[in-house]
Amino acid sequence: MSDERPQARDVHAPYSVTAESGEEREREISRITADIRDTATGARSFSAAQITRARDLLARLYALRRARRLYPGEHPAIAQTEQDLFDVIAAYHAEGVDVSLTFFEDEVLLGEQVLTEDSMLFDQLIRDMVSIGAGSVSFLMGLSPDEIARFSPVIGARIEEVQELDGGIASLAERAECPHILISAVSVVRDDVTVEEGDARELAKATYTGTLELLRELERLIRSNQSLNVSHLKNTARSLVDSILRNRFAMLELSGLKSFDEYTFYHSINVAILSVALGSMLTRDYRFLSTLGVGAILHDIGKMTVDLSVLNKTGPLTSDEWAEMRHHPVRGAEIVALTSGVDRASIVCVLEHHMRYDLGGYPPREPKRRQHIASRIVAVADAYDAMTSQRPYSAPRMQDEAMGIIVKSAGSSLDPGLVRQFVDMLGYFPPRSLVLLNTGETAVVVSPSASDPTRPVIRIIAGVDGTMVRPVDLDLSASAEAQGRSVVRCLDPTGMNVDIAEFL
């Protein structure tokens, strides 16, 4: 332990690059959430006739829910109500629009349009849909009668049945395999579902190990030219989303794990955790987060076809080797595109993760177009994890240094709105960082503070003279508790013989 008294470093300066007015922040967040919504449901403007037709749509949806509750699954009345519902949805699709319904509190909306009279007429349906967690239902173009039939038990689901499921109604819908129907709860973003701390940590560890096993299997399959197992992949992404929605923090704690020997595997998991966690700051749409999770797990899969001598080379790459490395997003997207059942957005995410927010990066795109929202999320997570990991050709950066670079990249290589959310999520000194305080004490970061990303909750582990002390927790954002303390910078725990896990 060092006993040198530190020189204060102005960590606030780089952060202020993105910490502008609240209004601008609101604008950025609404831009990003609009992108997510468009990804999930497409355009949402409806004509007067289409709005009038919504009454018929709601009546048929209600009839199907009732039929599912009253009759056994094979009863002809159910097949008829399924067909009736399909017919009215098909009328919208024939006019070139997707159908998206939102049930929220006492209202029903078609797209963004509140249906005032229908909200009174269908109050029972609204209550039912909200109570089973189906606050948002979208029927996308390309829907078939078969999909409606597979989806029918989801519409008729009982509350108790849904409550018993991890992931709720959305996981029931995912299992029904209906690519043209999206369903999710409408809930307040950031409203974390919490479970017992111990359970959450166990679940997070099991999810981490499961994802690691998946990646090892993927490499084996790719190197032996075999096709990928899409259900294993999707189930892994779902458990990642479940774990993060239950307790984002328990999963984020594990995102700091590294392995030099299995860099690509650990990097892929960490990027997936950081991406889904960042996505969950913006939406709790289960389908979007699962698609994002699949894209993030697979983002570097193209590297599994690159020669190991190139991948692990410590010296500078030749131009041919560099070209091979830069080809990995295209190669990865080709591999994933050949795997049937993977959502298009996941494939796009693999292709675009090295593109930049300012339209640069690779592979080049002509005409210039913006990266998909999922690709922009993965780009932030990828940049942070790569910088903080030891790679064959570079030493890892300290967490605060990497965060400073991320902040400075806002608006150039990275989406500024996502960078803000990323800093809010992890803080400027992320959890598990070993930090030096202005008093000369050493501490481990326990969690970010909600009010100031530069003032986390810390656990002091060593005094001014470097000797270990009985750990004391302090919230540096609370001035009475902090008593003038602030974080100066991150320290390298390996050089100081400190095992962070011992203190958390």
- Give Cβ neighbours of residue 446 (< 8 Å, ≥ 6 apart): 431, 456, 457, 458, 459, 473, 504
- Separation between Cα atoms, residue 86 and residue 352, nearest integer Å: 36
Q: Which is nearer to Fe ion, 153 or 363 (CB)?
A: 363
Q: E strands, 62-160, where? A: 99-104, 107-110, 113-114, 136-139
As measured in angstroms, the least distance from the Cβ of 258 to Fe ion is: 17
Q: How far is the CB of 267 from Fe ion (least distance, A)?
A: 9
- Side chain identity, residue 2: S
CB 209 → Fe ion: shortest distance, Å?
23
Nearer to Fe ion, 285 or 300 (CB): 300
142 Ramachandran zone, left/alpha/beta (phi>0; psi -120 to 50): left
The secondary structure of the chain in percent helix, strand, coil, rounded to multiples of 5, reads 55, 10, 35
Q: What is the 3-state secondary structure (H, E, C) of 434-480?
A: EEEECCCCEEEEEECCCCCCCCCEEEEEECCCCCEEEEEEEECCCHH
Residue 300 or 415 with smaller CB distance to Fe ion: 300
Q: Which is nearer to Fe ion, 311 or 418 (CB)?
A: 311
Tell me which residues touch Fe ion (CB under 5 A): 300
**How many helices and strands, by DSSP H and E, does the chain display?**
22, 10
CB 437 within 8 A of CB 486: yes
> CA-to-CA distance for 124 and 130, rounded, in angstroms?
10
Which residue, 299 or 432, has its beta carbon nearer to Fe ion? 299
Q: How far is the CB of 396 from Fe ion (least distance, A)?
A: 17
Query: Minimum distance from CB of 383 to Fe ion (Å)?
Result: 10
Phi, psi (deg, nearest 5) at residue 250: -60, -35
Query: In the complex, what is the shortest distance from the CB of residue 299 to Fe ion, in angstroms, rounded to a whole number?
Result: 6
Q: Which residue is nearest to Fe ion (CB)?
A: 300
Using DSSP's 3-state secondary structure scheme, residue 141 falls into: coil
Tell the smallest beta-carbon distance from residue 412 to Fe ion (Å): 18
